Amino acid sequence: MPEGHVLHRQARLQRRRFAGEVVRTASPQGRFDEGAARLDGQTVAEIRAIGKHLIYRFDSDDHLHIHLGLFGKFRLRRQPAPEPSPNCRLLLWTDTDELHLAGPTACEVLDPGAIDALEARLGPDPIARPADGAERFAARLATRSIPIGKALLDQKVIAGLGNVYRAELLFLLGIHPFVPSKEVLAHEVDALWDLSVIELVEGERAGKIVTVDPADLGRTRRSELGRGEKLYVYKRHNRPCRRCGTTVVAADIDGRNIWWCPSCQPER
DNA sequence: GTGTCATGCGTAT
DNA sequence: TACGCCTGACACG
């Protein structure tokens, strides 16, 4: 269940194994037979992530585009690797390493133009830290009257945030999720961008989302936080806020749940 | 074993 | 706003 940090981390790990290598490809499940046949035996030129998308560029200029959606999963293994799941859409391997991909929303071969178009429709990606990222994020927010809690999931506004990060970032900055995007103050917009960079880069490094300041739980390091202690509000409906003890509440925005602390994130 | 839910998104209505 | 798609983990019996 992937937000942008997962894709960037996968890009980094897969790059280490497959960049510059001739790879074999297959589709055990059969639903990517044509693409796998086309890519089989090609050399990987580059692997990168943009927001929640992962892109392989091959020497032929064929591109492999992967989007995990809600269910997609990568498994990266050393050879000899275990049997892939029967649902394995893409199997990609060398003599030393093997990648299993199951459940993606997208696994397709695209030409360079389609990759450009994909990139053009995405907002700034905090992990890529573009120099004009904060400006572009602010500009896209300023045109929206939708709640900030909805805008943060719009990949045209900012690329890579998902349901966990949106809830946690809004908590950390004390912003109620239903505040209209236009009414979020300029310094808060800047802080949202800056904190997105910090949290996603840290998530990429750690391979998990941990937003809780250990001091709030009487610890000194994030590594001392146990299971179920890593997040402030995500999925904590009816439980006490880790900062102030107020009961965390939940609501539905466009079919996605959002959680917040009514005291730390007051209505305006 | 069955049922439910999930860190997503595109398309139709 | 609703629905379809995609898989697997976990709760419950």
Through-space separation of residue A1 CA and nucleotide B5 C1' in angstroms = 12
Q: What was the pLDDT predicted at A145?
A: 87
Q: Which nucleotides of B are covered by protein (CB under 7 A)?
A: 6-9
Through-space separation of residue A220 CA and nucleotide C7 C1' in angstroms = 38
Over the Cα atoms of chain A, what is R_g?
A: 20
Divide the 268 residues of chain A into consecutive groups of 10 and give the mean pLDDT of each group: 94 98 97 98 98 98 97 96 95 98 97 96 97 97 92 97 98 97 96 98 96 92 86 95 96 93 96
> Strands, E, within A13-110: which ranges?
24-26, 44-50, 53-58, 63-67, 73-78, 88-93, 97-102, 106-110
Through-space separation of residue A187 CA and nucleotide C4 C1' in angstroms = 40
Tell me if residue A136 is catalytic.
Answer: no
User: What is the model's pTM?
Assistant: 0.96
Tell me if residue A256 is catalytic.
Answer: yes
Q: What was the pLDDT predicted at A221?
A: 87
Through-space separation of residue A80 CA and nucleotide B8 C1' in angstroms = 32
The domains found in chain A, sorted by start residue, are 4-121 (3.20.190.10), 133-260 (1.10.8.50)
- Give the residue with minimal CA–C1' separation from C2: A255
Strand B contact with A243 (CB < 7 A): no
Q: What was the pLDDT predicted at A170?
A: 98
Strand B contact with A28 (CB < 7 A): no
> Strands, E, within A174-263: which ranges?
249-253, 256-260
Tell me if residue A168 is catalytic.
Answer: no
Q: Which nucleotides of C are covered by protein (CB under 7 A)?
A: 1-3, 5-8
Q: Which of A3, A168, A199, A204 is catalytic?
A: A3
Which nt is closest to the CA of A165, judged by C1'? B7
Q: ∠ at Cα A167 (A165, A171), nearest 5°?
A: 110
Q: What was the pLDDT predicted at A193?
A: 98
Strand B contact with A75 (CB < 7 A): no
Q: Which of A9, A17, A28, A52 is catalytic?
A: A52
What 8-state DSSP symbol labels residue A222?
Answer: G
Q: Please, where are the H alpha helices in chain A?
A: 4-18, 33-39, 112-120, 133-142, 148-151, 163-172, 186-206
Q: What was the pLDDT predicted at A138?
A: 97
Tell me if residue A24 is catalytic.
Answer: no
Which nt is closest to the CA of A71, judged by C1'? C7
Q: Which of A15, A48, A243, A256 is catalytic?
A: A256
